[in-house]
A and B are shown apart, each in its own frame.
Chain A
């Protein structure tokens, strides 16, 4: 019975088991990957003559996106790319990861009842449907009656119409708020995997919380930090939710690449150019995914050894 390659399923049964998933993934994941590349070399539109008979236009769509004359103009590709980069840096790397780390660390010491309440609030922001969250924030930020301005006025601070005045910072804070739960839970489980005796020994030696964090906690969860940074970067880079809050406006000031792509393809009906944007998004995703997978492999190897 202990043959090395004994397997429970024959090749044929295995293939049959794989078939439905392979078909679905093939048509709706693999095919779009190649199709979007093909479309990006055409002038395909949603309506009109080129909807049915698109022409091959070579790299024209890409030249248009990277046209130096308009690259940095608001509402153009370059502007959106830079905006998205800032958005990812601030809301994923700084906001979600740091806040998640802080929360996870606090959770280690605070009383269980308080821990449960705080966790509930943080996780609620993460699990509720995006349109509900979008509307909650719309109400929260309302100039006349919104909760935020009510509090600001109550504290004697100037109220503001933040969706108009500081739309970019609104979506940065919004996304931090929305996604911090993931980082918090990841780091929570990371801290939980550290043997408690390490911390007890540090307590006996009289270490402060910050010292314990810096010298024991952080070094031991380094792997999780990298995982968290890459995953939250990828998700934030592809997120469409701010559209629900701001529609990409006012005047393109919150038009992330995902929203830009939507506008070009489905509002301006320029599928060729939209596809080119999609290709660039996928290339950036690919870089992150390769980093993540190579990192995972290294870790797997280290475990085997």
Chain B
């Protein structure tokens, strides 16, 4: 299609505007491209001279920091397994069984999950965890996240399962499979892409979160990276910039990798119970 002159002008203007907004968004992050590789990094942007991996060596030698990554991994993987397993089973039941009040369950679930935010519920969550004696444990963080993320995860998966024809399992059952067999051998492989989405979404959520572990954990050796990162502050509270930059980069990598994986595998689509 040929563009008229004003249209061409508008298109150039739009591109310029988009580029400016893009630059504004990137500005606060540009620092992260340089500082981790600069042994004398400060809060300003400076091209490293020379480029070095020294900061990473120091971070990898810091037991507490490494322990933080391991703790993040334990809590994220633990939470993800619980969320994915429980959500898949529950979503399947909501989609395929004729339990009375299914619509009601979904409605109440959505309502409560948006009303009971981590912010609003920090006091009771603290009290519940402490009254069952789980204070300052990995399992407390895992359980709280699993509970909090489950409603949305169930909602995503239910949408997904509703879109799969029942005839898959029906033909398996005609062939003599039990309902449970039909679920594990027929339905589960078809649902798998939906589960992958939930897994990635839950992992990124737990991996990046700060408030819940901050409230529920006390011991240094249980802290995930989001809290452990504050060990890179000197006694006076000023940040040790070189280490913080390198550690932030390492800590961000899984999230970035998962994002790239999802957009490569599924394209960029919307998940999260938002049906257009």
Contact = CB atoms under 8 A, between A and B. Distances in A.
Interface in B135-174: 143-144, 146-148, 150-151, 154, 166, 169-170, 173
Contact of B94 (A18, A127, A238): A18
A168 B125 CA distance: 29
Given A14-B99, A20-B90, A124-B26, 6 more contacts: A1-B170, A8-B97, A106-B17, A128-B29, A129-B207, A203-B1
A276 to B, nearest CB: 9
Nearest to B268: A185
Interface string A109-152: 11100110110011111011111110111111010111110110
Main secondary structure of the interface of B (DSSP, over half): helix
Residue with the greatest number of chain A CB neighbours at <10 A, chosen from B98, B119, B170: B119
B22 A240 contact: no
Contacts of B125: 28, 32
B17 to A, nearest CB: 6
Given A15-B99, A28-B143, A266-B215, A147 B31 contact: yes
A125 B122 contact: no
Interface string B21-63: 1110111111110010000001111000000000000000000
Interface of B: 1, 6, 10-11, 14-15, 17-19, 21-23, 25-32, 35, 42-45, 82, 85-87, 89-90, 92-94, 96-99, 107, 109-128, 143-144, 146-148, 150-151, 154, 166, 169-170, 173, 179-180, 182-183, 204, 207-211, 215, 225-226, 229, 239, 241, 244, 248, 251-252, 255-256, 259, 268-270, 274, 276
Interface stretch (A69-77, A88-96, A284-292): A284-292
A17 interface: yes
A209 interface: yes
Residue with the greatest number of chain B CB neighbours at <10 A, chosen from A15, A24, A227, A241: A24
A206 B29 CA distance: 41
A162 to B, nearest CB: 12
Nearest to A290: B111
Given A135-B248, A275-B124, A208 B18 contact: no
B105 to A, nearest CB: 8
B18 A129 contact: no
Interface string A238-272: 11110010000000000001100110011000010
Contact of B115 (A135, A142, A282): A282
Interface residues of A, number: 105
B157 to A, nearest CB: 10
A99 to B, nearest CB: 8
A32 B116 contact: yes
A147 B45 contact: yes
A124 B204 CA distance: 13
Contacts of B268: 185
B31 A139 contact: yes
B259 A8 contact: no
B44 A145 contact: yes
B18 A130 contact: no
Interface string A182-206: 0001100110010000000001000
Residue with the greatest number of chain B CB neighbours at <10 A, chosen from A22, A227, A257: A22
Contact of B124 (A35, A107, A123, A203): A35
